[in-house]
Amino acid sequence: MRDFINYLKNPSEDLKLPAKKIWSVLLVFLTIYIIKIIVAIVSHMVFKDNAPDSGLRDLPTVLPLWMVLFIPPLLEELSFRLWLKRNTVTILISSVCFVWCLASMFLSDVLYSTDRLVLRCIVALAVGVAVALLLKKQIINAKFPIIFYLSAILFGLMHAHNFIDVASIAGALFVLINLAMHTLTGLFLGYVRVGYGIVASFLLHVTNNLVVVYLYL
């Protein structure tokens, strides 16, 4: 945990985590996972009468199980973590996937459904490529801590789409707590992506989502 906290103080894209540290990294993952579960239980107890409904309940009705488990983590890792190793290809892929997520928020009730899929893909390709070409130089020249924290914050904010019918201050506070937990997860997955690569962060993301899939099936 100490290594992770120290990294957050000054993130660097030159981080190389040795294979022998994998167990300590997994221990950090487990610790964060337990914290998230405790926060989720407590927040549901405190806000049980004001907690908004979750759009995640609709996922199993529009996608098969394997897609629920693997497609969201894949798209989110490509959108929010791939570009942490900055080059033309990673920025382009991340930009297209991120725009796809944004377009899906406005063009569909369920983010990862197949509703208007062709239109969403066309928008993602056209706008995503344009954004990548326009911002590539600024992204490559930006200070890495800005890029690192921005990716985690955007990852957290994207999950606001999971909640519907937020009708009270208490409900909004419940959502903010959940978004903070998603942001914490984003920071850790970013750390893993930089240190071990995109496949490692994807696999941990899938593992993280196992409980979510279990809760809503």
Q: Is the pLDDT of residue 54 over 70?
A: no
Using one digit for the tens of pLDDT, what is the confidence trace for 116-146?
888 889 999 999 999 999 999 999 999 999 9
Q: Is the pLDDT of residue 61 over 70?
A: no
Read out DSSP for 28-86? HHHHHHHHHHHHHHHHHHHTTTTPPEEGGGGHHHHS-HHHHHHHHHHHHHHHHTGGGS-
What are the backbone dihedrals phi and psi of residue 50, each rounded to the nearest 5 degrees, phi first?
-125, -5
The secondary element (H helix, E strand) that includes residue 163 is strand 163-164
**What pLDDT was estimated at residue 215?**
52
Please name the amino acid found at residue 213: V
Q: Is the pLDDT of residue 164 over 60?
A: yes
Q: Is the pLDDT of residue 109 over 90?
A: no
Cα–Cα dist 150/153, whole Å? 5
pTM of the model: 0.89
Please name the amino acid found at residue 167: A
**What pLDDT was estimated at residue 63?**
63
Q: Is the pLDDT of residue 51 over 90?
A: no
Q: What does pLDDT average to over the chain?
A: 86
Structure-block tokens of residue 10: 């000054």
Give the chain's largest Cα–Cα span. Answer: 48
